[in-house]
Structure 1
Amino acid sequence: MQEISATELRRRLESGEDLVVLDVRESHEVAEAAIDGSVSIPLGQVVERRNELDPSRTTAVVCAGGVRSARAIQALTDAGYEGGLLNVTGGMKAWLEQQAG
C-alpha cells in the first residue's frame, strides 16, 4: 500500500497537483475538521459509492489516524477499483498537528 505523509499531501495540494482527497471518517468527525475540497464517503459506504471517485486521478485517503483509510484502500482494491490510492499516514491528527505547527 502506497502512503503519503500529511506534510507531503499539503505540499502537493498547495502546488496545485490534481489529487482527490477522500475522507472516510463519519460525518460528525468531518464536521469538526476537514481538508478543503475533500470528498466525504464514510468507510462503510466506500465500496458501494466508489463510482463517485475518478480513477484517472490519484486519490489520497484520510481518516482520523490512518487505520480506516488503510481499510478503505484494501476494500476498494478488493472491489476492483483501478485508480491510484495513497494512505495518508497519521490521518487528520497528523494534518491538524502539522497545520498548528
Structure 2
Amino acid sequence: MPSSDSLQIEPIAVKQMLDRGEAVRLVDIRQGWEHKICHIEGSLLLPMDELPARVAELPTDRPLIIVCHHGMRSFHATMWLRQHGFPQATNLAGGVDAWAEQIDPVMARY
C-alpha cells in the first residue's frame, strides 16, 4: 500500500497490490478516446476535466491510484485530490505507458 506521504507508486507495486487483492481504486483521468486505445483492467474512467464535478464518486476508504498517459496529468490530479480530502491518492509513475512497458507488453500504446 502506498504511504500517505508518497505521491507516486511504481507499476510493479500496483500490480502486486492488485494480485494480492488489496482494495485499491484505479482512476483513469485520460479522455475517453485514450481509454478506448488502452486501459488497465478494472480502472474507472473519470476524465480530468470532470474530476471536480464527479469527485463524490470516489471512495475515501481505500487508496486511489491515479492514471494518465505518462504520469503528468495524473500527478496534478493526485495533488488536487490530496488537497480535497483524499490523502491516499497516489500517482502511477509513468502512467499507462509505463504499465504497458513493464507489466502488460501486449497492451496497445500510443
* TM-score normalised by structure 2 residue count: 0.84
Unaligned segments of structure 1, at least 5 residues: none
1:47–1:76: 8 Å Cα contact kept in structure 2? no
TM-superposed CA distance for 1:75, in Å, is 2.1
Which of 28, 33, 37 is the aligned partner of 1:28? Answer: 33
Report SS of the residue matched to 2:52: coil
Q: Kindly report structure 1 stretches of 4+ aligned residues shifted beyond 4 Å.
A: none
1:58–1:85: 8 Å Cα contact kept in structure 2? yes
Report SS of the residue matched to 2:81: helix
TM-superposed CA distance for 1:25, in Å, is 0.4
Aligned residues: percent identity? 29
Matched residues in 1 for 2:47 and 2:70: separation?
14
TM-superposed CA distance for 1:81, in Å, is 2.3
Q: How big is the alpha-carbon RMSD for the aligned residues of Structure 1 and Structure 2? A: 1.4
2:71–2:93: 8 Å Cα contact kept in structure 1? yes
Matched residues in 2 for 1:11 and 1:82: separation?
22
1:69 aligns with 2:82: no
Which residue identity is paired with 2:12?
Answer: T
TM-superposed CA distance for 1:55, in Å, is 0.5
- Pick closer, same or farther for the CA change 1:70–1:22 going to 2, 3 Å: same
Which of 85, 98, 104 is the aligned partner of 1:94? Answer: 98
- Structure 1 or 2: larger strand share? 1
TM-superposed CA distance for 1:20, in Å, is 0.1
Alignment of 1:1-101 (within 5 A): 2-78=7-83, 80-98=84-102, 99-100=104-105
* TM-score normalised by structure 1 residue count: 0.91
Which residue identity is paired with 2:31?
Answer: E
TM-superposed CA distance for 1:83, in Å, is 4.4
Q: Give the number of aligned pairs.
A: 100
